[in-house]
């Protein structure tokens, strides 16, 4: 009996150790996602009774705590309940996610319960550690004008084989809302970015940094600061104040990103100061966090205009 008990304990310890390999932060590629989005997952406590998780991805846009998560027989399973539409009878549908570790990567599938045609395969790799800090050692390079004021040179649609849905009028870049997000051809690592923009009443947009992290644009003048408000690092970093101007007025962002540290100045007010970005936001199209990435202008929500987009690379 002692031998059996020892073997059982050893097997349980081995399973717990194996399950713990799911712990960590994961950057997720979804090759056939119709919106060309990347996802993000954090798992903690796998291999213990206290497993928990956070997720950014379809179908929502915010950082969500996972309500139902487990590891069973070497497979990670999690679900979001009643978020995926309804059957004709009104029954709400659940979203089911599962993954196994293969060669150090997550090989996963997503499916809306009862709708096999919704199935998507996804691949998760561990998010890299990025040690660079905005410590005063970074020097500005030559400014790069990303918008020339005449046409869409240097930009392409986020969705392949689709019209951009953007136009230039009198030196101003405008979207035909809703339009696919616009992505810069050029990629950058550490930088200082200056953007001048105008948002319509009740509209919203966003600026994607490295193709991964969204600084929110929103018509919310006079409202309290919010994780989803103007100038927020969307659903992740709360601004210290709301410095928004009313809809229809030109506004400015000065955004600095070094490693994972972001600083946001909205209309000459510093609202985020060297705060750490823990992972992707919903705007992400490029999940490779350790590499340079493009800028994204969100166009699929409401009317927005840009008249100046200048980036200054930062180097040591």
CB 191 within 8 A of CB 256: yes
pLDDT at 3: 47
**Residue of 237, 239, 232, 138 whose CA lies nearest to 191:** 138
pLDDT at 1: 57
CA separation, residue 1 to residues 6, 10, 11, 165, 209 (Å):
8, 14, 15, 72, 60
Alpha-carbon distance 210 to 232, whole Å?
A: 16
Alpha-carbon distance 71 to 74, whole Å?
A: 6
Task: List, in sequence order, the alpha helices (H) in the chain.
Answer: 2-19
Q: What is the pLDDT along the chain (316 residues), one digit of tens a residue?
A: 554 444 444 344 445 789 999 999 999 999 999 888 999 999 999 999 999 999 999 767 899 999 999 999 999 999 998 778 766 666 788 999 999 999 999 999 999 998 999 999 999 999 999 999 999 999 999 999 999 999 999 999 999 888 899 999 999 999 999 999 999 999 999 999 999 999 999 999 999 999 999 999 999 999 999 999 999 999 999 999 999 999 999 999 999 999 999 999 999 999 999 999 999 999 999 999 999 999 999 999 999 999 999 999 999 9
CB 65 within 8 A of CB 54: yes
Domains in the chain, ordered, with CATH? 2-126 (2.40.128), 139-315 (2.60.120.560)
3-state class (DSSP) for residue 46: coil
Alpha-carbon distance 179 to 79, whole Å?
A: 30
3-state class (DSSP) for residue 251: strand
pLDDT at 7: 41
Q: Provide the whole-model pTM.
A: 0.92
Q: Give the DSSP per-residue string, 142-201.
A: --EES--SSS-TTEEESSTTS---EEEETTEEEE-SS-PPEEESS-BSSEEEEEEEEE-T
Alpha-carbon distance 99 to 147, whole Å?
A: 41
């Amino acid at each position: 009996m002692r031998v059996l008990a020892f073997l059982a304990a050893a097997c349980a310890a081995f399973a717990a150790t194996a399950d713990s390999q799911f712990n960590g932060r994961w950057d997720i590629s979804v090759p056939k996602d119709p919106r060309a989005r990347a996802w993000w997952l954090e798992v903690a406590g796998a291999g213990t009774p206290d497993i928990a998780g956070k997720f950014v991805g379809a179908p929502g846009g915010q950082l969500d705590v996972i309500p139902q998560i487990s590891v069973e027989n070497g497979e990670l399973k999690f679900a979001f309940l009643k978020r995926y539409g309804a059957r004709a009878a009104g029954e709400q549908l659940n979203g089911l996610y599962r993954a196994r570790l293969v060669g150090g990567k997550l090989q996963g599938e997503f499916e809306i319960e009862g709708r096999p045609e919704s199935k998507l395969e996804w691949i998760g790799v561990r998010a890299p550690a990025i040690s660079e800090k905005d410590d005063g050692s970074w020097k500005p390079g030559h400014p790069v004008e990303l918008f020339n004021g005449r046409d869409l040179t240097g930009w392409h649609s986020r969705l392949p084989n689709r019209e951009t849905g953007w136009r230039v009028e009198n030196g101003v870049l405008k979207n035909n809302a809703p339009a696919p997000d616009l992505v810069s051809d050029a990629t950058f690592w550490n930088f200082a970015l200056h953007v001048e923009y105008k948002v319509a009443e009740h509209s919203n947009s966003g600026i994607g940094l490295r193709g991964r992290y969204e600084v929110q644009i929103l018509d919310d003048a006079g409202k309290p600061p919010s994780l989803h408000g103007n100038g927020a690092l969307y659903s992740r970093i709360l601004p210290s104040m709301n410095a928004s101007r009313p809809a229809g007025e030109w506004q400015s962002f000065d955004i600095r990103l070094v490693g994972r540290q972001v600083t946001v100045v909205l209309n000459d007010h510093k609202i985020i100061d060297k705060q750490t970005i823990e992972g992707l936001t919903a705007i992400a199209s490029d999940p490779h966090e350790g590499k340079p990435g493009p800028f994204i202008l969100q166009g699929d929500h409401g009317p927005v205009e840009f008249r100046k987009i200048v980036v200054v690379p930062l180097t040591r």
